[in-house]
Amino acid sequence: MFSAPLARRATRRVTGVLGRRHLSLHEYQSLNIFQQFGVAIPKIAVAKTPQEAAQKAAEIGGDEIVIKTQVLAGGRGLGHFKENGFQGGVHIIPTGEAADFADKMLGKTLVTKQTGATGKPCGVVMLAERFQIKTEKYFAILMDRGSGGPIMIGSKTGGTSIEDIAAKDPSAIVKVPVDIIDGLSTAQASEMAQKMGFEGAQAASAAKSIESLYKVFMECDCTMVEINPFAELTDGRVIVCDAKVGFDDNAEFRQKQIHEQRDESQEDPQEVEAKKFDLNYIKLDGSVACMVNGAGLAMSTMDLLKLKGGSPANFLDVGGAANKETITAAFKIIQGDPDVKSILINIFGGIMRCDVIADGVVAAVKEVGLKKPLIVRLVGTNVELGQKIIKESGLDVFAIGDFNQAAVKAVEMAK
């Protein structure tokens, strides 16, 4: 098997893509959806230019305002901008300086612990009212295999990593399953608010937002709703201060308004291109590109490459309905990756016939050109015809029928 860090990363990302469950929205987009469902949020506005930031800040009012970089990554407050070295993607600033701070953020690339050195581009900033927090709580809704439905997770402590809270004191985490048929009752929402440490009028306000958040979770086909912090303010309000929400891509057909808000600038360009052709593609850190049909075979291929001393550069499942067009698109994507040193095509002909794959590979190479060593392993339906197509194409390809030998050759050619 491959190393633990790679295994965790590949399993986490592959699971998400194969289930097509990876839409994330910016904080301001999630907060706007919350507000539509009656969740209490702070006054916010968004800006795409420094001039617009100044105008929106004045409209929100107050002596101070919060400005937040809108990128799809955590750790924004501790990040830095690649182009100018400006520190921090979240600041509390005098209202009159909104344009100056926005100018240092907009059009720049924010680097955080979660983005890696590449960073994420900032095209929008969010401006929010300045408020004083009295207490911070944590709240989330997820799907739970154990209880067979949604589960609410809360803590009296928020504003920091929930993993750190759980490690320090597991008893600080409250878990309340919700019957997916009956739904969340007002009594359950009130109980959850109280277990999170809200009291009196604040408990009632928190319970109302919890009910509304559950409606968001169910009616918007969310995979996760995470609020940190869910805060009581010094003025008595209870509001959602920060939000992270995931949406199920399988429900795109009935959540078009939400999915139209996808910000492709925050995603890997190769993954965006792959999605256009319904390819399951994930960029990884290695040097051997993989084109495979079927998730199980893909994972086995990545395992074997690691065992043979190599490292996969990607996960790419062309699926059972691939044709020349999709295979050509897949070939362009992996050839366009500068980290790729060799390419291994590993096809088991079942639903997808080997001759179709072979035709697609030949067409792709003739259109794109072959710039890197290519190893093709075909087994299954119409394998003889597929091998004949490859052989008669005149392409400089290593056609190897044995799985182990193909993997060894791919690793060797990548070095």
**What amino acid is encoded at 355 in this protein?**
D
* Vertex 358: Cα angle to 318 and 360 (nearest 5): 60
CA distance 301 to 195: 47
Report residue 190 as tokens. 């009130």
CA distance 51 to 103: 9
The DSSP bridge partners found for residue 67 are 91, 127
The secondary structure element, H or E, covering residue 25 is none
Q: Which residues are catalytic?
A: 138, 226
From the list 166, 71, 165, 82, the residue with the least C-alpha distance to 114 is 71
CA distance 392 to 376: 14
From the list 129, 178, 128, 134, the residue with the least C-alpha distance to 154 is 178
Radius of gyration of the chain (CA): 25
Residue-level length of the chain: 415
Query: Residue 382 to residues 138, 294, 398, 403: CA-CA distances in angstroms?
Result: 56, 17, 19, 17
Full DSSP string of 92-109: EEEGGGHHHHHHHHTTSE
Q: Are 143 and 106 in contact (CB under 8 A)?
A: no
* Vertex 163: Cα angle to 157 and 166 (nearest 5): 60
From the list 302, 293, 306, the residue with the least C-alpha distance to 357 is 293
Report residue 301 as tokens. 């291929």
**What amino acid is encoded at 42 in this protein?**
P
Residue 221 main-chain phi, psi, to 5 deg: 55, 55
**What amino acid is encoded at 255 in this protein?**
Q
